[in-house]
Amino acid sequence: RPGIRLDGILVIDKPAGPTSHDIVGLVRRLSGLKRVGHGGTLDPFARGVLPVFLGRATRVVEYHLGDRKAYRATICFGARSTTDDLEGELTPSGVAPDQAKVEAALGGFRGLLEQRPPAYSAIKVAGRRSYALARAGVTPELKSRSVTIHRFDLIEWDATDPERPIAVAEVDCSAGTYVRAL
């Protein structure tokens, strides 16, 4: 309604499917506000908490963007995705490790790391989204960045298919980390 001011942070349980930008657009339409932003991009296939900042609260989004993030990720070993995520085509990638080898290797993924974002990411390269370039057959040049992995723990292991065991991991990390690129 005219004259009603909306300022604050709306916590949305984003479903799989829409992009973070789609959610912001929906909130803009429903609220009638122009000043709406989100607190970190979630991939379209990802579901989870997406903070949406309204009105004057958009001034504090920069502080949230630098905060630590927490994720729960499902990992399929013994296969590689063309897009580094579940939307890509899976192809065999050699012998899958067993649970003990994965747990032993996790220490190398904790602490300060240099990480190159995946080609299928929302990072802009020369004004275009990296994923758009990758889908057009162009390999985007993405610079590596320093990220910190505070916690990377294996919480489930399913070896029903020993050639493609499935793990569930929890990751606490710095902003800007691509969990699917770990």
Report the catalytic residues. Answer: 43
Q: Are 182 and 47 in contact (CB under 8 A)?
A: no
